[in-house]
Amino acid sequence: MRPSWDQYFMEMAEVVKTRATCLRRQVGAVIVKDKRILASGYNGAPSGLAHCADTGCLREQLNIPSGERHELCRGIHAEQNAIIQAALHGVKIEGATLYVTLQPCVLCSKIIINAGIEKVVFKGSYPDQFSEGMLLEAGVELIKFD
């Protein structure tokens, strides 16, 4: 039986997350429009910098709980990387759908809103209720994928 489009693109996001270099959690994101993949991203250190696997996790060393103090991390989130890749290559993502293996945080939600992404399909929950409220207030459709 063929997978639905949501299943298909979420599975792609699952594959993308296998490239993640974060020691705490691996996240993958795929931006889709008109049933075509426009960009993808995973969480990890910026291009050319040492990965957390090599340097250790600063957040873990400082005992920072999940969902707090995002600025104290070497890594870029998967959603951010996907949006950056689209911008870097001149790919318009306004009106697109973002498939991501974890609910976006508030920082990613702000970027998603300003990038013009209209729909977010996500898998796992993240301890950030503020992000969900912002996305809904902005009219971004949220779908929890099971």
The catalytic residues are: 79
- For 118: left if phi > 0, alpha if psi spans -120 to 50, otherwise beta; the answer is alpha
| CB 117 within 8 Å of CB 137 | no
Contacts 24+ apart (CB under 8 A), 117-121: 117/31, 117/83, 117/93, 119/143, 121/6, 121/9, 121/10, 121/97, 121/145
Element housing 101 (H / E) = strand 97-102
